[in-house]
Every structure is written in structure tokens, then in C-alpha cells.
Structure 1
Amino acid sequence: MDYRIKCLPSGVLIFTITRVDTRNAVNFRVMEGLQEAIEQASSADVRALVITGEGGQAFCSGGDLSVFHALRTEEEAYGMLSKMGEILYRLAVLPKPTIALINGTAVGGGCEIASACDFRVAKIGAKLGFIQGSLAITTGWGGGTLLFERIGTAHSLKLLSEASVYRAEQLDHIGFINQVVDEADEAAAESFLEKELSVSSGVLSAYKQIQIRKWEATGLHDRMMQEVRQCAILWAKEDHHRAVDGFLNKK
């Protein structure tokens, strides 16, 4: 199994990517697991959803290039990218608090998953970066669009355009990281949510709906899908395939 789902007595549902050997990279099974977790989180018994990675090294290293590099054409890429884009849209509009519990490196698609969550709690020293540009593509799961919804325009554009890696502490002051902790574990997630967990779940859902209504009015879903399509176009170009070949050969 490439993922684990469990619910804590507090009502916090934890989704964990368990592909430590790939630095918790996303494959199609992980996508299906995340979709399952989102469906479970819709239950009245669940008060919040937390997403994290197994071990202490990586939250998520993005899409598994050893699998997805086989996708060569625009339409092949769009099939995979749009599948994950739809999942991240559902995560973003889930009417429950959501947290990316960043226990280690989060790069590429890992940062897109984090952007889909309401909050990001990161282990001190964790490295994060929207590095897609170094592979001659853009964010492709809708994470760029979501990033612009989370933090200021100038900061978002800088993070995306530079394709650089930062420490969690560097992203704290711009609001991308909401809290830096010594250990990004279940206890840290429950501590971060302590006050929310004492409030009626109906109240939390009602507040989240305010954000969701804004996103529906501004066409968030369509904007994310436009981002997905643009990435698919770039994915099919030789520049991208050459960059991925170089990356995989270095490994």
C-alpha cells in the first residue's frame, strides 16, 4: 500500500503517503488514496484532514517521474495532470479545515498539495520549492493558481518563477508556512488545531463556505484547469523530456 488513512480520537483524519523509497512521490495509487481520504473527511465524524508523508525526510517530492515520464504527448500528460488537478480542487473546497503537515522536503507537486490545504505546518529546516520551472514545465495540478489564492501576488510569482528551494523558516514571514515546529507529527497537528477542535464543526464548515463561495464566484476550478492545460502543452515539448532525462540520469 502506498498510503495510509487513519482517524484520531480527536476526529482528525490523517492521510500519509508511505512511499519512503521514492521520497513519497505521487503515483496513481496515491492519487486514489487521497481521493478516498477526501471522501472520508466529508463524514460528519471527521473534524479536520491532515496530509503528511512517512518518515522524517520527505513530505512529498511531487509526481513520480519514473512513472510519469512515460507520458509523452499533451493529451497523455493532460490525463494525469487533470486527474490530480480535480483531486486538489476537491481538497481545496472541502468544507473542513485541512493541514499540510510538512515533515520533510516538499518540492514540485508536493508544494502544490500543500497549496491546496488551508494551513501548512512545517518541520524546522524542511526544504520547499516550486521547482517545476527547472524541468521546463509549470505547476500542473492547479497548485500555482492556489498559491496565488494563499499569499500575495509578488511572493507567489517570485516562488514560482525562481524554481528555487527554500527552508520552511524563510517562507514563514510571507504566510506560506503558518507554523514552524520542531517535529511535524500528529501531536503538532492536533496542537495547531487545538482551538478549532473545540468549536462546533458546523461553525468551521460555515466559515470555510465563505471562502468556497468566493472561489466559485471567481471560477477557481476553471482557472486551475487552464493551468493544467498549459502545463500539458509544455510537458509534451522536447525541452521538458530532455530536462527529465537529465534529472533521472543524475539520480
Structure 2
Amino acid sequence: MENILIDKLDQLAIITINRPEKLNALNKATILELHEAFRSLNEDTTVKTIILTGSGEKAFVAGADISEFANFSVEDGGKLAAKGQELLFDFVQNLTTPVIAAVNGFALGGGLELAMACHFRIASTNAKMGLPEVTLGVIPGYGGTQRLAQLVGKGRAMEMIMTAGMIDASAALHYGLVNHVVEQAELLSFAKEIAAKITKNSSAAIAKAIEAINANFEDGTNGYQVEIKNFGACFGTEDFKEGTTAFLEKRKANFK
């Protein structure tokens, strides 16, 4: 791994995008490394939560590496978006291990799209977020037009994308784009506190909940039916036996 760092702390993994000289901009190599990191951590049964952040104090991810696609054709552009969504953005959204984005600075273009693909977001007070693609004569291609509207509503998404403007952490909190805003020095510790709360719960149930919540935003999918199916499936797990037994015995559950 040349562009990312991975730290494992008990049942928590922290992925840090480490290209500070490029403000952690996404290039093909970084996207591939992130895919591999998320894939391997998702398969690691000792990891129950993942935090994603950027190195340094300026940027989470300041965008995509424009030099890689400046001369692309129509066909090349379509393939770039499709491959990126498959390898990383859709992949992270559908990961069965919870992913928290700790947005520690600029999250622009592909950086905001990556943060929005995570299951939820925490921002530092200095964070700035936006989708400035129209200033380059292109639109967000890694799911930004879809996820931003889902998170902040159609009108605000239209305005943010059409003006290419940035919003600060306070506005992002007001819009519902992030769940919490804290001082930068407290960002990782705060994210770890939330991760610890998640870790205490059933990973099997959380995975089913992620799938059911995501189903509500999939065309042609009945989210209620997915919820019913996943609810029933939980009854066949060891976690369900442990959780209900612990409740009846008035003790804390010990999920394996």
C-alpha cells in the first residue's frame, strides 16, 4: 500500500488516505488500494467497525486526480465512472462492516462522494464540503448526484452542484450531510467513541440492518420486504440466541 495507511486497534480499523502532498486526492492507484483494504477488512472477523479519514490537517480528500482523465473520450469517461462506483463507492456503501467517515478538512468532488458512500459522517470544525465538478465542464460521476440528494434533499443538492459552492461544517450539520461536528483535535477520538458503541452490538444484525436501509434507495427494490427477510434471518444466528438470553438473564450480551 503506497497511498493509504491501515491501523488495527482491537476490533477497530482506521484507514488513512495518505497523499498529503496532493491533499489526499483520489487517483486510480488509491481507489484500487482502498478497494483492497475495505475488502480485506470486511472479511476479517476481528474487525467490527472501520473509520476512514485523510492524513494531515487540511484535507479528507480534496477531489479526484484530474490529470488522469483530462484527455478522456466519452467512452473513457463512462468507463471511469462505472469502474470507480463498482470498486469503491458502491462497494463501501454496501459493506457489511460499518464505515464512519471522519472528515478532517476539505472533502470535495470525489472526496465528498467517498464520504457520502460511508455509512455516516463526522466532521471537524474546519471541514469544507462541495461538488465543484461543473467548473470543469463535467458532473459528479461517483454517485454524487444521487447520494447528495438522498442526504440533503433535491433542492439543496441542485444548488450545491449547480453553484459548485462549498459549505462549512456547520451548514453540513444543518443540512444533515454530517451527523456530528467536533474540533479537529477531537475528531478521531470522537469517532472511536461511536465505533466502540457499535462494536458492543451484534455485527450480524448490523450487517442485516445496513442491507435493509440501503434497499430503500435501490430502484425496483421493496425495502420493507428486505427488512422482513433480514429480520427473519436474524432469528437463525448465534447472536440472536446470545442477545435474547442475555436480556432474559439480565446481563450484557457477549457477541462473538
User: Structure 1-normalised TM-score?
Assistant: 0.80
Q: Which residue of 1 aligns with 2:122?
A: 121
Q: Which residue of 2 aligns with 1:195?
A: 197
The alignment-based identity, stated in percent, is: 29
Q: Which residue of 2 aligns with 1:3?
A: 4
In structure 2, C-alpha distance between the alignment counterparts of 1:48 and 1:151, rounded to whole Å: 25
Asked whether the 8 Å contact 1:124–1:182 carries over to 2, the reply is yes
Unpaired runs of 5+ residues, structure 1, are 220-251
**Alignment of structure 1 residues 143-222 onto 2, 5 Å:** 143-183=144-184, 185-218=187-220
| AA at the equivalent of 1:147 | L
Q: Which residue of 2 aligns with 1:79?
A: 79
| Higher relative contact order (Cα pairs below 8 Å, separated by 6+ residues) | 1
Deviation of the 1:216 alpha carbon: 4.1
In structure 2, C-alpha distance between the alignment counterparts of 1:68 and 1:169, rounded to whole Å: 33
Q: Which residue of 2 aligns with 1:100?
A: 101
Unpaired runs of 5+ residues, structure 2, are 222-256
Asked whether the 8 Å contact 1:51–1:101 carries over to 2, the reply is yes
Q: Which residue of 2 aligns with 1:17?
A: 17
Q: What is the aligned-residue RMSD (CA, Å)?
A: 1.7
Deviation of the 1:110 alpha carbon: 0.7
Asked whether the 8 Å contact 1:125–1:167 carries over to 2, the reply is yes
| AA at the equivalent of 2:93 | A
Deviation of the 1:37 alpha carbon: 1.9
In structure 1, C-alpha distance between the alignment counterparts of 2:93 and 2:169, rounded to whole Å: 21
Q: Which residue of 2 aligns with 1:233?
A: none
Deviation of the 1:105 alpha carbon: 0.8
Task: State whether structure 2 residue 132 is matched by structure 1 residue 131.
Answer: yes
Structure (1 or 2) with the larger CA radius of gyration: 2
User: Structure 2-normalised TM-score?
Assistant: 0.79
Runs (4+) off by over 4 Å: none
More divergent stretch after superposition (198-207 vs 210-219): 210-219
Asked whether the 8 Å contact 2:104–2:126 carries over to 1, the reply is no
Q: How many residues in Structure 1 have an aligned counterpart in Structure 2?
A: 217
| AA at the equivalent of 1:133 | V
Asked whether the 8 Å contact 2:101–2:121 carries over to 1, the reply is yes
Cα deviation 1:164-205 (Å, max 9, x = unaligned): 011111110110011101126432211233322221111211
